[in-house]
Amino acid sequence: MPHFINDYFGFYGQRTSAPGVTKTVCWRLGEPGAPFSGTHGAIQWVRPGSSEFPAPLPPTEAGQIFLAGLIWSSENSLQALSATLGSSILTRRYEALAELSVNAAGCLIATSGIYLWTGTASNDHAFFRIEGDQLSWSTNPLDLVFSQDDLHLWNLRRCCHGDDAFLYRQEKIQRVEQGHLVKIERDGNGAMHVEDMTFDRFLPDPHLSSGRLSREHVVSRTREALQQAVRPLVCGKPVGMMLSGGAGSAALLLAMKQAGVNVIAYHLEPEEPEASEYRFAHLACAALNIPLVHIQMSSGPDYLSKDWMFPHPDGHPWVRWYEQIADRARQDQVDLLVTGAGDDHAFGPEMEYGVHSILAAHIRSREKQEMLRGLLATDWNIYDILKSVRPGRQLIGLTHLAGPSQADHQMRRADFLSPLPPYTREIDPALLHSPVFTPQGMSVELTILQPRGIRLYYPYYHREIQALSLALPDAYRLMPAASLPPHIARMVPTLERVVDKPILRLACEGTALPQEVIWRTWGICAMAPIQSFCLNHTEQLWDILAGDSCLIHMGMLDPARLHEVLKSRARIRENYTSLIASALVEVFLKKAFREQCQRGGPLWK
């Protein structure tokens, strides 16, 4: 039976033009062996922890394979898996490569060159660097850093504002795009050539791409796709679900229950009642008879740690909370966590919605009429509704469903940083679509989850769900509540007047999942526990941000401004995201980045 192979946690390698065979070793992540002698070598990092040492991938005729991520395999042996992958790459028949490593990155060291690839939905990414005659590659971009010159300073500034920007200069540290295979080979003169190929991409569901759609048909396909997405988890081993209590994570929990997955739900609850979703998580688990582990979110001094070894600055305020879940999962012998992230992109609105979206959709006329009528009972302005007949005029904005706003054009407020001249805001790719490479996601995986032997699976990035998503008309990604079936529309005003992810929610209708969980469209005050930390630990923030501060040395942070911000509760609230993001950037610069720069390049020379 097909299953996830979950033993391979990363790889690293380096070669020069000097003759010689590339030595390979297989080490537990975080437990490196003695440095090699010579300049060629490659490491397969495997699962850390006390369990049995995972078997290394055997060499094949094609060469030596290295992997990182979740490998979806029906092969009975690692030998066969390696052979299939190697053959797929060398013969350029990529179906097997696409299927097996959709959630993984890999490397093949062959006589014809080095091949690096990243799966279309992979959380692990292959990076490489060519410097003189030295080629190095890794799943951790920090391994490839030589000095401060590798930093992209504008992106460093963006990271301080909490943007999900890649910090390193991409002309130096290159990333293999998702769904791409890169071949690096030397010619007779020793010059390196890079060939970049697309080996996989998600395609729209052909069942939904032709003819008129009906809501019922799309809902039915959604249920099927959800089942496909959780099928790899049916292995008897316990799987941890990171359950927020929102419709996206609850829908996955339901699908897992229906598929017979041995699932434990983990829920983080803050102290602040207005930021708590526990009630909804509890309702979902009680209805589905799934064990729920309640974890109290920490907003104390441990919320920020100077010891975190980030491969990249992480501006995400959830680092500590991921750590709490990971610690609990390890205690429960759970090595695979499932997240509901990606539901918004798969089933929610993209950047387009308006009358034109409804008129242009290949859906039934009756549904269109209901939607158009329903638009009048929303908070959108009548002139905007009429103008949205034209394809370029959207009713929704980047940061708010209510419409385009000034916030769409500005980074988060950071009054303690040096003022900026006028700039154009760059949009994080993750805000626009997924699956996509997110530096913050990579950072959490490499810093928190993988060192604990835990991997993260995103069912909403599954091929079937992505295929459905690609075929989903904009008119089905957002619906006026008044256009939904009457028993749902009657929930207004408890239900908001515009409902996002309506198809996903409708797919949960008629199941054990409570209506209160399915149709909760509103979010909680997620900022409350983060602001609590900032308000109650100003000295800690000052210590990290102003004590021997790299950001001050770089001229990016102004200590006088920081002092002004930290002495006012109102200004701390206005700047809380960038305070945390900047503190995490500072932790990165002071700890992991400094150590890497001191080492200065390849793992061995």
Q: How far is the CB of 513 from other proteins (least distance, A)?
A: 19
Q: How far is CA 490 from CA 195, 246, 251, in A?
A: 57, 20, 22
Name residue 86's amino acid.
Answer: G
Among 476, 576, 588, 593, which residue interacts with other proteins (rule: CB under 8 A)?
A: 576
592 secondary structure, DSSP code: I
Among 149, 331, 383, 487, which residue interacts with other proteins (rule: CB under 8 A)?
A: 383
Please answer whether residues 476 and 346 qualify as being in contact, where contact means their C-beta atoms are separated by less than 8 angstroms.
no
Q: How far apart are alpha carbons 242 and 292 in whole angstroms?
A: 10
Q: How far is the CB of 531 from other proteins (least distance, A)?
A: 6
Q: How far is the CB of 378 from other proteins (least distance, A)?
A: 7
Pick 553 or 573: Cβ nearer other proteins: 573
Instruction: Tell me which stretch binds other proteins (CB under 8 A): 54-62, 196-204, 358-366, 378-386.
Output: 378-386
Q: How far apart are alpha carbons 475 and 411 in whole angstroms?
A: 29
Pick 192 or 527: Cβ nearer other proteins: 527
Pick 182 or 524: Cβ nearer other proteins: 524
Q: How far is the CB of 426 from other proteins (least distance, A)?
A: 18
Instruction: Tell me which stretch binds other proteins (CB under 8 A): 35-43, 259-267, 279-287, 527-535.
Output: 527-535
Pick 299 or 521: Cβ nearer other proteins: 521
Q: How far apart are alpha carbons 535 and 567 in whole angstroms?
A: 9
Q: How far is the CB of 396 from other proteins (least distance, A)?
A: 15
Pick 460 or 519: Cβ nearer other proteins: 519
Pick 334 or 482: Cβ nearer other proteins: 482
Pick 54 or 397: Cβ nearer other proteins: 397
403: left (phi over 0), alpha (psi -120 to 50) or beta: left
- x/- map, 480-519, other proteins, by CB under 8 A: --x------xx-xxx-xx----------------------
- Least Cα distance to 455 among 332, 329, 331, 346 occurs for 329
Q: How far apart are alpha carbons 603 and 13 in whole angstroms?
A: 9
At 20, which helix (H) or strand (E)? none
Q: How far is the CB of 162 from other proteins (least distance, A)?
A: 12
Residue ranges of alpha helices (H) inside 392-461 are: 429-432, 439-444
Q: How far is the CB of 456 from other proteins (least distance, A)?
A: 29
Please answer whether residues 268 and 235 qualify as being in contact, where contact means their C-beta atoms are separated by less than 8 angstroms.
no
Among 376, 389, 420, 432, which residue interacts with other proteins (rule: CB under 8 A)?
A: 376
Rg (CA), the chain: 25
Helix (H, G, I), strand (E, B) or coil at 192: strand
SS (H, E, C) 294-343: EEECCCCHHHCCCCCCCCCCCCCCCHHHHHHHHHHHHHCCCCEEEECCCH
Q: How far apart are alpha carbons 268 and 167 in whole angstroms?
A: 29
Beta-carbon count within 10 A of 386 CB? 12
Among 193, 362, 553, 573, which residue interacts with other proteins (rule: CB under 8 A)?
A: 573
Residue 198 touches other proteins, criterion: CB under 8 A: no
Q: How far is the CB of 72 from other proteins (least distance, A)?
A: 39
Q: How far apart are alpha carbons 96 and 548 in whole angstroms?
A: 51
Pick 82 or 532: Cβ nearer other proteins: 532
Pick 449 or 489: Cβ nearer other proteins: 489
Please answer whether residues 244 and 265 qualify as being in contact, where contact means their C-beta atoms are separated by less than 8 angstroms.
no
Q: How far is CA 285 from CA 72, 167, 239, 279, 514, in A?
A: 28, 40, 15, 10, 10
Cross-strand bridge partners of residue 201: none
Q: How far apart are alpha carbons 26 and 33 in whole angstroms?
A: 9
Pick 530 or 562: Cβ nearer other proteins: 530
Among 230, 243, 395, 524, which residue interacts with other proteins (rule: CB under 8 A)?
A: 524
Pick 32 or 273: Cβ nearer other proteins: 273
Q: How far is the CB of 275 from other proteins (least distance, A)?
A: 8
Q: How far is the CB of 567 from other proteins (least distance, A)?
A: 8
Residue 569 touches other proteins, criterion: CB under 8 A: yes
Instruction: Tell me which stretch binds other proteins (CB under 8 A): 7-15, 424-432, 435-443, 522-530.
Output: 522-530
Please answer whether residues 576 and 534 qualify as being in contact, where contact means their C-beta atoms are separated by less than 8 angstroms.
yes
Q: How far is CA 114 from CA 107, 111, 401, 544, in A?
A: 7, 8, 46, 41
- x/- map, 403-442, other proteins, by CB under 8 A: -xxxx----xx-----------------------------
Residue 25 touches other proteins, criterion: CB under 8 A: no
Q: How far is the CB of 303 from other proteins (least distance, A)?
A: 17
Of residues 243 through 302, those in contact with other proteins by CB under 8 A are 273-274
Pick 496 or 543: Cβ nearer other proteins: 496
Residues in the chain: 605
Instruction: Tell me which stretch binds other proteins (CB under 8 A): 12-20, 399-407, 420-428, 581-589.
Output: 399-407
- What the block records as the tokens of 518 is 């399915």
Please answer whether residues 222 and 504 qualify as being in contact, where contact means their C-beta atoms are separated by less than 8 angstroms.
yes
How many residues of this chain bind other proteins (CB under 8 A)?
37
Instruction: Tell me which stretch binds other proteins (CB under 8 A): 68-76, 94-102, 220-228, 565-573.
Output: 565-573
Residue 109 phi, psi (nearest 5): -100, 105
Q: How far is the CB of 497 from other proteins (least distance, A)?
A: 7
Cross-strand bridge partners of residue 26: 44
Please answer whether residues 281 and 265 qualify as being in contact, where contact means their C-beta atoms are separated by less than 8 angstroms.
yes
Q: How far is the CB of 198 from other proteins (least distance, A)?
A: 38
Q: How far is the CB of 493 from other proteins (least distance, A)?
A: 5
Among 25, 372, 574, 591, which residue interacts with other proteins (rule: CB under 8 A)?
A: 574
Q: How far is the CB of 171 from other proteins (least distance, A)?
A: 34
Q: How far is CA 492 from CA 292, 439, 482, 489, 495, in A?
A: 30, 39, 8, 6, 4
Q: How far is the CB of 370 from other proteins (least distance, A)?
A: 13
Q: How far apart are alpha carbons 605 and 601 in whole angstroms?
A: 9
| Binding positions for other proteins, rule: CB under 8 A | 273-274, 376-379, 381-383, 404-407, 412-413, 482, 489-490, 492-494, 496-497, 521-525, 527-528, 531, 568-570, 573-574, 576
